[in-house]
Amino acid sequence: MRLPPAPDHPELRLRHACSRLSYVSHRLTIPGGDLRVLQPSEAAELPDDGPVEWAPLMPYWAVLWRSGVALGRELANSRLVGLRVVELGCGLGVPSVVAARAGAEVLATDGSDEALELVERNARENGVEVATARVDWTAADDLVARGPFDLVLAADVLYERASVALLLSLLPRLGGEVWLADPGRPAAEAFLEQARRRWPLTETVRDGVGIHRLRPAL
Ligand SMILES: C[S@@+](CC[C@H](N)C(=O)[O-])C[C@H]1O[C@@H](n2cnc3c(N)ncnc32)[C@H](O)[C@@H]1O
């Protein structure tokens, strides 16, 4: 069961902000055409240029992280027509929207309902549709049942140690290739060290963000 947030919890404050339609609009330069991304205005001033010490101030999904933007730019060079794509921890959903624009059938997932509402809206603002589903990596059987997917996307999802084991176990159950964008979080290093031992992995860098391509297998 999901308990409601305490009255002074940032998520609740953010919900009020969302219900007042308090958004800022960003125009992102992406190969193939600019992308318009709406973001809760309360999260707009938060920097994404170092350790996430300000983390308790806002839910993570509401921030426009540089990893999501870098993964979106990387995807924009790919031909994705007809592919089944799932994004984990999508937040504002930049990679999902770019993948849909490139012709993929996209399922954007996150643990937060508020994120999913905004991703659907961000997709519409850019003339595409993405399906959404609330998925927590601790209980992802329903998502696995919707697979296999051709491509799994995830940007800046490894900032907590607990996520390392969760994603090492979930990713091979989803099928296909994984593109994981990460700005160098310590937990991501721990994940990659183990992933390299298990699966083929190639790495590139875009806009200072690591783009790790894995082929997980059970
Ligand atoms: C740092 S944000 C990154 C958001 C987005 N991928 C981006 O790059 O802009 C991490 C995201 O992962 C989601 N998340 C964290 N732990 C999760 C879990 N156990 N299950 C599902 N989503 C989770 C958060 O809600 C948040 O949207």
166: tokens are: 């969760």
Alpha carbon nearest to ligand 1 atom 8, residue = 68
Cα separation, 40 vs 42, in Å, equals 5
CATH architecture of the region 10-47+57-214: 3-Layer(aba) Sandwich (3.40)
211 Cα to the center of ligand 1, angstroms: 17
201 Cα to the center of ligand 1, angstroms: 22
Q: Among 2, 49, 110, 153, which residue has the most ligand 1 atoms within 8 Å of its CB, making it the best to mutate? A: 110
Q: Where are the domains of the chain?
A: 10-47+57-214
Please report which confidence band the pLDDT of residue 12 belongs to, taking 50, 70 and 90 as the band edges: very low
Q: What is the pLDDT of residue 13?
A: 47
Tens-place pLDDT, residues 160-217: 999 999 999 999 999 999 999 999 999 999 999 999 999 999 999 999 999 999 999 8
Please report which confidence band the pLDDT of residue 106 belongs to, taking 50, 70 and 90 as the band edges: very high
130 Cα to the center of ligand 1, angstroms: 17
Tens-place pLDDT, residues 113-122: 999 999 999 9
Tens-place pLDDT, residues 141-167: 999 999 999 999 999 999 999 999 999
198 Cα to the center of ligand 1, angstroms: 24
CA–centroid distance for 45 within its chain: 20
110 Cα to the center of ligand 1, angstroms: 6
Buried (b) or exposed (e) across 89-113, using 16+ Cβ within 10 A? Answer: bbbbbbbbbbbbbbebbbbbbbbbe
Would the pLDDT of 11 be above 80?
no
Q: What is the pLDDT of residue 50?
A: 60
Q: What is the pLDDT of residue 4?
A: 44
> If you average pLDDT over residues 131-141, what whole number do you get?
98
66: tokens are: 């540089």
Would the pLDDT of 18 be above 50?
no
Q: Among 26, 49, 61, 152, which residue has the most ligand 1 atoms within 8 Å of its CB, making it the best to mutate? A: 61
130: tokens are: 């993405």
| Locus of tokens 């783009």 | 211
Q: What is the pLDDT of residue 57?
A: 66
| Pocket of ligand 1 from Cβ distances under 6 Å | 60-61, 65, 67-68, 89-92, 110-112, 115, 135-138, 155-157
Of 114, 119, 131, the C-alpha closest to 37 is 119
| Locus of tokens 């958004």 | 23
Q: What is the pLDDT of residue 21?
A: 56
Tens-place pLDDT, residues 42-74: 887 766 766 554 455 678 999 999 999 999 999
Q: Which is the closest atom of ligand 1 to the Cα of 166?
A: 19
